[in-house]
Chain A
Amino acid sequence: MDVTRRGVLRGAGATGVLAAALATGLLKPERALAASWNKAAFDAKSALDALKSIGAGNTLESSEIVIEAPQIAENGAVVPIEITSKVAGTKSIAVLIEKNPFPLAGQFHFMDGALPFVKVNVKMGESSIVRVVAEAGGKYYTATKEVKVTIGGCGG
């Protein structure tokens, strides 16, 4: 299989081929997991620290990143967000909920024909700015959208 190193590690981990790889001594489990999930970025308590941890300390505002999200979410437990990057050569998209205790919600890497698009449901503890950062040509582009989380009915 012609894949990147990251691909081998992640793909193996996720498909259960991991067990086979471990058995044959190809990988140590800590290494496989540590390499595939950016712990520092996910543990960061501010959006800025999370961005630094994914290498996006400097970002450029871009109108070519489209964030589709409701301005009002009736339930913070499920806030649907749809992201499209029109920045040419987008390799990855990161989603940050700035007011969440751990702002980074996810980062998606696209290769071999995958379009820089993702639709995901996220949790929001309170009304917040949703920040999206797209990586293309070694640069980081960003756009934001505000989502208000309202109080539900009947004292919810």
Chain B
Amino acid sequence: MTKRRFRRGAVLAAALVAVAAGPALAQDEKEEIAKYQKMIAEGSPAELWELQGEDLWKKKQGPKNASLERCDLGMGPGKVKGAYAHLPRFFKDTGRVMDLESRILYCMITLQGRSEKDATKRLFGNANQPSEMEYLVSYVVGQSRGHKMAAGMSHAKEKDAFEMGKAIFFYRAGPWDFSCASCHGEEGKRIRMQDLPVLSEPPGAQKAYTTWPAYRVSNSQLKTMQWRINDCYRQMRFPEPAFGSDATIALTHYMAVLAKGAPYAGPGTKR
């Protein structure tokens, strides 16, 4: 994990006051979990997804027999290096704030001439059927490794998305009364053995956001941020958020903006 000095703000200080009240894990137990996480990261097959994704990015497909190489991810057509670090951001051509996944879909439809139905055929892969989206995302995010997170925050719609993302983060609903903050709102908490980053404060958002998308051992697949949000909502007992919807992009944007300045270190590896 990158050791950085975080800018201390009043908000952060307030968060630090709320120290874990639950039973602390024995120190050696904590170290063993950290060791497990370090060892799975070292032995991660994530790179294979990047390689496969690069092939798919450059593969001519669809009615227009075109590759995605001319896709404009926000830094101009064809520029992939560092592009993910600036997402989500406002795009003039669509008039909305877009995350990586929604932008890739846009490029599949516009550049390759594919139908929305075809482009969204398999947004999440599983052990039996891999997902083109997950490969493509792996490749693109890998091209931002080391780049500092700098999601768009200049356009009015970007500011709106940030504020909406924040409101969605704290919105309690569903049969179990959960919001994102129920699990990711207090320092030092965990579900079972897993530490829960506080995603509404820069340190937690930086740590989590720069290590997603991630190869997830439980799925044997590289999973996207859209998937991460989707599966959180499933476990929150909510209905399903639409892939690439404004709500999911706003939430992503909220976390991306809070992660500002941290160098991107993904794709990561998670349990």
Contact = CB atoms under 8 A, between A and B. Distances in A.
A154 B35 CA distance: 22
Given A70-B35, A70-B36, A152-B271, A75 B217 contact: yes
B220 interface: yes
Chain B: interface residue count, which band? 20 to 34
A80 B40 contact: yes
Contacts of B217: 75, 77-78
A74 B43 contact: no
Contacts of A152: 192-194, 218, 271
Contact of A74 (B42, B220, B271): B271
A153 B33 contact: no
Nearest to B232: A154
Contacts of A121: 40, 43
Contacts of A72: 29, 32-33, 36, 193
Contact of B271 (A71, A75, A82, A119): A75
Interface residues of A, number: 21
A38 interface: no
A151 interface: yes
B57 to A, nearest CB: 27
Interface in B52-111: none
Interface string B250-265: 0000000000000000
Contact of B33 (A70, A78, A119): A70
A78 B214 CA distance: 15
A80 B42 contact: yes
Interface string B182-199: 000000001111100000
B39 interface: yes
A150 interface: yes
Given A75-B271, A77-B217, A70 B39 contact: yes
A132 interface: no
B235 interface: yes
Contacts of B191: 153-154
Contacts of A154: 191-192, 235
A72 B235 CA distance: 24
Interface in B7-49: 28-29, 32-33, 35-37, 39-40, 42-43
Given A74-B36, A152-B271, A154-B235, 20 more contacts: A70-B32, A70-B35, A70-B36, A71-B28, A72-B32, A72-B33, A72-B36, A74-B194, A80-B43, A120-B43, A150-B192, A150-B193, A152-B192, A152-B194, A152-B218, A153-B191, A153-B192, A153-B193, A154-B192, A156-B192
7 closest A-B pairs (Cβ-Cβ)? A70-B36, A80-B39, A153-B191, A153-B192, A78-B217, A74-B271, A71-B32
26 contacts: A68-B39, A70-B36, A71-B28, A72-B32, A72-B36, A72-B193, A74-B37, A77-B217, A77-B220, A78-B217, A80-B36, A80-B42, A80-B43, A121-B40, A150-B192, A151-B192, A152-B192, A152-B194, A152-B218, A152-B271, A153-B191, A153-B192, A153-B193, A153-B194, A154-B191, A154-B192
Interface of A: 68-75, 77-78, 80, 82, 119-121, 150-154, 156
